Structure 1
C-alpha cells in the first residue's frame, strides 16, 4: 500500500531563530532528508522553503551573506524543494530605551536604532499553503514554524478547505505555540538536534556551476554560534 502524501512548508527564519542559530554545525541542512526523517510514514511531495536574502550588518560577521548563498545553491540541487524569497530590511527607528527611563518632562527616553526585519515570508508561506491545499496537492499540509501568525491560514486549510494539516515544532512540545497546537493538526512532531545531525548535506555538492562547499564555520569543529541575522546564515 502506498503512503499518504505530504507537502512541507518551512519558515526558514523561525527555524533559524528557534533551533539553528546556536548550532552552526547543523546549518548545512538537507531539507528533503529532513522531511523524510521527521515524516517517515508519508511520501513528501514537495518542500517550500521561505527565507530572505540577508545583508551585511555593522559588527556582524561579513561572511554571513556568502554562507547563505552557498546554502541556497545547495538547496537548488534538491528536486522537490523550492525556495521563496521575501525581503530583508534595515530601517532606522526611534524607539524607547529598555528598561524604560523618563526625561525631565516625564516622557519616555528614546534612542535611534537600526531595526532589522524579514518581510513577506509569512505572507508567501500562507499564500502557497492555501493555494496548494485548494488544488488538493497532498493528503496533509505540514508547516514547520513556531510563529502564531500562521494560525489563521492553518485554520483555513483545515476548517474551510477541509484538508488535514500538520505541525513541525523547532522546539520542545511544552514550549511550542499553544495557538498553533489549537489548530488541531493531525501531526505534531518536534524537530530535534538528532534529526538535524542526521540530515546534513555532504561537505561538497555538485551543481551546474561546479562545487558547493560546506562553509567552514558550519563544520563540526567550528567555534560558537553564528552571530548574524535572519534565516539560514
Structure 2
C-alpha cells in the first residue's frame, strides 16, 4: 500500500533576517543550501518551492569590497538548485544627522548630533507579504511558511489566517528564548527553529556547475575544518 502523500508547503525566506540572526557570526555556514535546510525542518511536508527575499549589496558600502561578489555568487548557487526564486528589494545608503551615543548636550542644551551613514534594506518585507498572500489566494499549497524573526510580518500572518483561512507556518532563526513574542502570539499551525546543527548539515557543494559557469564556495566562507577551497577569480 503506497504511503499517503505529504501535505505541500511553500517557504518564504527573509534573507537579511536569516543572515543577521544565524549567519553573520559564522562565515563557515553562509554557503547555506536553504532548500536542504527547509527539508530538514519540515519533514512532514513536501516543499514545493522556496522564495528568497533580499537586496543586492552595493559596491563601496562597508569595509569589504568583495562582499557584493560573494553575495551574487551565492544567489546564483542557490538558484542553481532549481528550487529557489530570488526577489529583490533595494539597498539604500543615506547620510543623516543622528544623536550622539552616549547622549551629550551642547552649549545650547540640545542633543549633540553627528553625521552617520545609515544603511538599510527596503522593499523586501512588502515583496514577501504580497507573494505569500498571492500564493495563498491561488491555493498553491497546503502550508505557507515564513522564515523570519521580524514582527513586521504579524499582519501578513493574521491576514492569511483570518481573511484567507489558510495554514501558516513559522520558522524562527532564533532559539525559543529570543523569538519574537508577537510572531508567537499569531499561533502558527507549524513552528520550527533553525539550529546550528541544521545549518552545518545543510551546505551547498563546494563546487557547483551552472551551464558553462562553475561556482565555487568563497574562500572566506570555507569550513573551519578544511583548508581553503580552490576558487576561481569570479567569486573570491
TM-score bucket of the superposed structures, by smaller chain: over 0.9
Structure-1 separation of matches of 2:129 and 2:11: 12
Of the three residues 155, 162, 165, the one matched with 1:162 is 165
User: Which shifted more, 108-117 or 59-68?
Assistant: 59-68
Matches within 5 A, 1:1-233: 1-57=4-60, 60-221=63-224
Structure 1 ranges of 4+ moved more than 2 A: 56-59
TM-score normalized with structure 2 length: 0.92
Secondary structure (helix, strand or coil) at the match of 1:211 reads: strand
Secondary structure (helix, strand or coil) at the match of 1:220 reads: coil
Offset of 1:80 from its aligned partner?
2.1
Secondary structure (helix, strand or coil) at the match of 2:119 reads: strand
Structure-1 separation of matches of 2:224 and 2:70: 16
Structure-2 separation of matches of 1:130 and 1:173: 27
Offset of 1:190 from its aligned partner?
0.6
Structure-2 separation of matches of 1:136 and 1:5: 11
Q: Which has the larger radius of gyration?
A: 2
Secondary structure (helix, strand or coil) at the match of 2:155 reads: helix
Q: Deviations over 1:126-175 (max 9, x none)?
A: 11011111111111111000000000011100111000001101010121
TM-score normalized with structure 1 length: 0.93
Aligned partner of 1:230 in structure 2 is none
User: Which shifted more, 57-66 or 133-142?
Assistant: 57-66
Offset of 1:209 from its aligned partner?
3.4
Secondary structure (helix, strand or coil) at the match of 2:90 reads: strand
Offset of 1:9 from its aligned partner?
0.4
Secondary structure (helix, strand or coil) at the match of 2:87 reads: strand
**Structure 2: tracts of 5 or more residues without a match:** 226-236
Distance 1:217 1:94, change over 3 A: same
Distance 1:94 1:123, change over 3 A: same
Higher relative contact order (CA 8 A, sep 6+): 1
- Cα RMSD between the aligned structures? 1.1
Aligned partner of 2:234 in structure 1 is none
- The number of aligned residues is 222
